[in-house]
Structure 1
């Protein structure tokens, strides 16, 4: 099973690129971020014609997340993080898809800092950590995928000195990412490439794409049982090189099928 996360940076303006990628790579599950469209404007028909069913949580001009499933319907389990009922940002969507609980997230950027936007980022991160623990405690196979807007270490960026003041690099942001992993999650891309610089984002300025001056801020985190099924992970860099591309490239993982023993155990637990 191939699962991917992709910050599309405007689904309406980049729909042709999204459809080209879906046709070429054929992922089974896709998490999208930064839809930048209302619920009514989501291109459900075009997505369906490509062979995918979808759920989405839109917002005019900003944010927005969606989960796509090839050939089956995602069963929505949560919209928004617990305890953030007054949050007006569309940043979290969760569904049961093909035997896995998938949390699609677009964590706040947090700039400028210090200030209310950075405070919001940290509060959102804290609530994500709390919910992530509950997901692990549920015993279900779970993945958290999306744009986390955090560069975990200096090995995840082309030049740390260029971004020292950015919210993506702050000790508070990194500490929360480490605390999240410490619950038992596996960072799939780093697991696959333990000693290599791998990037998922190249901004539009100063020829960053052409110079491969990138950052790793898009992550797929796997619960312990899913981590055992991980066979590969990577970044579809070619998407970033296309015309009118998003400043992110899709990040994907391959998971082998669950064992028959695991499926029977899970089914018995549901009964």
Structure 2
């Protein structure tokens, strides 16, 4: 599951905990963790996390169930507006890397550079899940003037270059098996900031495939993004990994 919590969750923590408890993800990628009550969250959910601090923006993290074996942790900071957090899981003698990322929200060219940089560092690492708020549009389409400044490219058209850079290595789980329209914003919170669009992704590389993908819209007041849940077909697992 991947979810942008909006400023660490603030007073919405009970709503966040309730949704995580309902979904019971095996691995959880979180974004916007400034002020996040990590100890309280881990105690309530039973998850353990690796959080990557940010030089310019907000921390991000990957959290996992204690039944999973972690063989590596890494933080990416300097080339990103926010950050990316990576952990490597091991099961049945096979490894899987899960990355939580949050790309630049303001400038399409900077997002493109971040996508190229991240893709280069994650390529050839075997099975990889890249999940998070990528602040990018995967396909061009109509966009109200209020939002065009963040998503226009050099040619004045909707810029999809960041997602195109990822697509050289990653497949989009939603395009494989997604249910519904896939939009992750807006919610009831800060609804004036977004037009209906998909900003949150789960991308797969290294032979991974999704069994299902859905947006969880149970609580429109828990954050300004809806979480995305993807079940993976990972060969070493006895069942799908959520």
Please, what TM-score do these two structures have when normalized by structure 2? 0.80
Separation (CA, whole Å) in 1 of partners of 2:145 and 2:54: 31
Q: Secondary structure at the match of 1:258?
A: coil
Cα shift at 1:165 = 2.3
Separation (CA, whole Å) in 2 of partners of 1:61 and 1:224: 31
Separation (CA, whole Å) in 1 of partners of 2:227 and 2:207: 23
Q: In structure 2, what is the equivalent of residue 126 of structure 1?
A: 113
Q: In structure 2, what is the equivalent of residue 8 of structure 1?
A: 5
Closer, same or farther: CA 179–172 of 1 in aligned 2, 3 Å: farther
Q: In structure 2, what is the equivalent of residue 66 of structure 1?
A: 61
Q: In structure 2, what is the equivalent of residue 30 of structure 1?
A: 28
**Count of equivalent residues:** 226
Cα shift at 1:5 = 0.5
Higher CA-based Rg: 1
Please, what TM-score do these two structures have when normalized by structure 1? 0.72
Tell me the alpha carbon deviations over residues 110-147 of structure 1, each in whole angstroms, 9 at most, x when there is no partner: 1xxxxxxx3xx634542442332342223x11011100
Tell me the alpha carbon deviations over residues 45-103 of structure 1, each in whole angstroms, 9 at most, x when there is no partner: 4313311011112469951101110124655532125xx37x7x541111113531111
Separation (CA, whole Å) in 2 of partners of 1:68 and 1:251: 15
Q: In structure 2, what is the equivalent of residue 97 of structure 1?
A: 89
Coordinate RMSD, CA, aligned = 3.0
Q: Are 2:139 and 1:153 equivalent residues in the alignment?
A: yes
Structure number with higher strand proportion: 2
Structure number with higher helix proportion: 1
Which runs of 5 or more structure 2 residues have no equivalent in the other structure? 238-242
Cα shift at 1:152 = 1.7
Q: In structure 1, what is the equivalent of residue 223 of structure 2?
A: 246
Closer, same or farther: CA 136–57 of 1 in aligned 2, 3 Å: closer
Q: Secondary structure at the match of 2:129?
A: strand
Q: In structure 2, what is the equivalent of residue 226 of structure 1?
A: 208
Tell me the alpha carbon deviations over residues 185-214 of structure 1, each in whole angstroms, 9 at most, x when there is no partner: 1111122249x6320110624597xxxx52
1:201-212 correspondence to structure 2 within 5 Å: 201-202=185-186, 204-206=190-192
Q: In structure 2, what is the equivalent of residue 136 of structure 1?
A: 123
